[in-house]
Structure 1
């Protein structure tokens, strides 16, 4: 019975659309209604329904554009859809896809890596993570790496710490050269945020920085256990690979010429990481920004 009603409603809507199109070609309404076996009141009811739907779509499209532009084109259909849900809109993801396509709004797609491996220059830790990135709460597993940015005036190196549970950037350091001082600053900022980190596993590749006695001794003093990927295996630290790819795609590729100096690039990086931590929603964090998810996870 319900299917019959749906079919009847669809047929009326289809007839209304046909009549509307033919009217635009100059045919008189009374003859069209007679030919389609549709009453005048039903026709105008269907027209008003179509207008309501069109106005709703217009309103949703306006919000979609606002979300897309606020996030500087970094959100695709899936994130825009979930942001709409977060804002209380009830809308199908296919409709979001259709509206974004109509407005030619396309989320950026990931496009490249600095290699810090220089052989065994210190102590290589066991691969305790072994691609098991699963966690039950924050501060169980951290990961780090260094990524290179090529700019017209030189190179920059970003060294962040990421929490595997929340994807939050715990701390980071941006430097003109990949040196131990950069790692020291990053560690100091990250470790000083938490009173207890005993038992946390800190993962990295086999870069010379992480084999260095300073790095090993500093984290050991805090009760942190070191873990390293196998040599030349990027999948063993895919969380960092994904993060760098996303960051470069969203604030670097295509914007390189906008950063005229280290100071400008440093400000842009700080702004992006603040946005990433406090605004950018993610599927892994139940469509919350990382900081909000950490606070929710810790009760």
Structure 2
């Protein structure tokens, strides 16, 4: 199978440069994360700096500095309160509570932790001075390994994905043991919220037949793409996100973001997919019945590239379940935990999630707990 040469939109280039300029990562690190050459990213950065005047952040005023200090203090108090509450109802059994106290002696007074966790100091020190059992030592080692995987997943993985990651690293541990240790150490996956309709299907444009018919399993790339639109709240207003995924490897091959939900939004996402994805004869593009997908301009773009159109039945989100599932994952793992001040801030966060984490790092249960890019690379190599 011949790999198609990647092309990059201006939007992609700007977001990639933003990861270097606004984050703490080097050009080498960002290029590895995005799967591009460092020299290419360096050229984009140089071109950007030539076009833009580099602004220097103004020094904080006393009022702003005071506000920032108050915010930091509030955060510290919150973390302390979380520690107290978590100790009272999430740690199971005295050994786990004692272990928590032992591991946090440098951060918190022993007296305070004993009081919060409901154990006596004498009992803690008696436990501390007893020889640690082999099982306990093994559990401590496993918890350290599990925490590394959980942290790398941005605290989104449940025990099945953590177990798959440990297995790939050559560790031998049962899935039930992983689940128990995660539960005892407050490592839980994030839960999904209720689905909400985004697009408007009330229009006079022709509606395509449902050619996909919920057949989400395909044998290769470029057979079927699925697309959808969602919205992200910011203090400036909504940020709309359109995506296109290939059903074979579940990779996001096209995306676009804007302050308005228009036909141009979905056309930009489709154009990116056309430039980066695999197109085969008979390729089907599936979406809902929204006016953005049914309009003449979008339909003309599909026809120009020989892509067949398929649309969900009216009001049935399950006909486009893969795209809907991606949005639920995005919101559970990222946007529901953020409060964005600006659309630009949200856009940078979403770009990094899609291009670095979701496509290249996040293990997908449908893909045998491989990332979309890993699954795609193995398919091309076979």
- Normalising by structure 2, we get a TM-score of 0.63
Q: Distance in 2 between matches of 1:208 and 1:125?
A: 12
Q: Does 1:110 align with 2:192?
A: yes
Partner of 1:264: 345
CA contact (8 A) 1:113 1:147 kept: no
Size of the aligned set, in residue pairs, is 252
Q: Is the 8 A contact 1:204 1:210 kept in 2?
A: yes
Distance in structure 2 (CA, Å) of the matches to 1:110 and 1:118:
25
Once the two structures are superposed, the pairs formed by residues 180-259 of structure 1 within 5 Å of their partners are 180-194=263-277, 196-255=279-338, 257=339, 259=340
Whole-angstrom CA distance in 1 between matches of 2:279 and 2:197: 32
CA contact (8 A) 2:222 2:283 kept: yes
RMSD: 2.0
Q: CA deviation at 1:195?
A: 6.5
Q: Which residue of 2 aligns with 1:44?
A: none
The residue that corresponds to 1:39 in the other structure is none
SS of aligned partner of 2:256 = strand
Aligned partner of 2:140 in structure 1 is 58
Residue 302 of structure 2 aligns to a residue in which SS? helix
Provide the rounded CA distance (Å) in 2 between the counterparts of 1:120 and 1:167.
30
Kept in 2: contact 1:161–1:172 (CA 8 A): yes
Q: Structure 2: any 5+ residue segments left out of the alignment?
A: 1-121, 124-129
Work out the CA distance in 2 between the residues paired with 1:170 and 1:210.
17
Give the Cα separation in 2 of the matches to 1:254 and 1:196. 36
TM-score, normalised by the number of residues in structure 1: 0.79
The alpha carbon displacement at 1:54 in A equals: 2.5
Shift of 1:114: 4.4
Contact 1:121 1:212 in 2 (8 A): no
Greater displacement, 176-185 / 117-126? 117-126
Between the aligned partners of 1:169 and 1:294, the Cα distance in structure 2 is 12
- Aligned equivalent of 1:119: 202
Once the two structures are superposed, residues 188-216 of structure 1 have per-residue CA deviations (whole angstroms, 9 ceiling, x without a partner) of 21101247432111100101011111211
**In the alignment, is the contact (CA less than 8 A) between 2:253 and 2:277 conserved in 1?**
no
Runs of at least 4 residues of structure 1 off by over 4 A? none
Q: Which runs of 5+ in 1 are unaligned?
A: 1-23, 26-46
Provide the residue aligned with 1:137 in structure 2: 220
C-alpha distance after superposition, 1:247-294 (max 9, x if no partner): 100001131x2x221111111001110200000001111111001101
